[in-house]
Structure 1
Amino acid sequence: MNHRIYLQLFPVQKAEMGQTLLLSDVARLEGKDTLVTELAEIPIYTIGPGDKSHVVIDILTVLQSIHHWFPDIEIDVVGPTQTVTEIETPRSSKTSVLLVFVWILLFVGAGLTIMNFHEDVSMLEVHQKLHFLITGTENKQPLFIQIPYSFGLGIGMILFFNHIFKKRLNEEPSPLELEMHQYNQEINRYLAETESDRSSKTWNSNTSSPSS
């Protein structure tokens, strides 16, 4: 008997090395509940040692797996025709040390950049002139301007990036998050366009029927 199922591939998902991706891991299904439950257990792809950091699965690979177990089923595909799987690897102590090193490097580099900028624009002279305009007296270290300015600089950076450590100030994405999102989209698009056909590997461990 023919049944109609609507299928929408997830744009991106994560998996671990050695994990077998089921249909429910790579796609959203809509249709008869009992049939959706059976389809959700269909194995699609097994992450193996030959896979590096990403695996691209196209809709034809998914349809082949579905029709292998349910030849008469009708599938209506909605949305993207490829899905990218990010392979997660356990973080080692070497990775943690490298992360700390990069964090310190970026922190020092950002501090030097700010100091060099202030030196280039002669910010101290600007503060001295502001102090003279406000008070009428000269002061080589106008602290009542410099201290609030320093706090304002830090608060401005927090508001700009919309984060205090891991806590988000509001629901709006920060400019950095937008850039990272666009960067990830470009990576996924590149992978989807350049990944070689892996359909032959899809069947390497699909010898048992899905559980009902």
Structure 2
Amino acid sequence: LLFTSNFLIGLCLLMNSMERLCVVAFPIYYYTHSTRIIYSLIAAQYVIAIIAITSTATASLIEPTRNISNFCWLQDVYSSDFYVATLEVATAASFLSVVLMVLVVIILRKKFGAQFLSNYSRNRDLTQFLKNQKRYTQTSLISCCFTFFFVVLPSIAEHINLMGTSVMSQIIVMCCAYLRLLNSCNMVIVFLYLQGDLRHAAIQSLKDRFRGRKDHVQPIKTIGFGK
């Protein structure tokens, strides 16, 4: 499940990049059919996730029984061929999310200029929607940059050193596995940024607690009358 989660994280980022691509490629259609597009992407994501988990569980059950240590490496849990195949699929999903975001940036610079926004300046809701989507796309681009350095590059390095028997190769493989775990923070950060109400509520809660503590430690001064 831990190894499968790497593919699911890459899949989530891939779906997010596809959603950003729909926004910048067909902004007006997305504005009028955003609910349908989002539900379709969510449904596709769940279907692929169920297939991935089922395939991994089935492959684990049909493998021949063998003894492994409780402190074994992650790549020793599965057969080498299955591990490499799953690693390549997870890397491909993350890499495709980065490629799609590059296309999004290219389209964004060509279409979402000042002239494009001025054409729809009469519709304030649409104008604000387009500006928000442009800001969200910039956030997703930052997320994909982290994906490239935390998933794509470490996966390539792990694939190169996977068959190595030296201590350095084993250390590199272990570090690459932990770097992919750091990428799980990507979706959380993107979710918190996109949910403006949740973000403002969290900030307000922290401010209220800070003010409450500050008021609590503030000394009380007694002022006498007639002095």
Kindly indicate which of the two structures has a greater share of residues assigned to strand: 1
Larger radius of gyration: 1
Q: What TM-score comes out, normalization by structure 2 length?
A: 0.21
TM-score by length of 1: 0.23
Higher helix share: 2
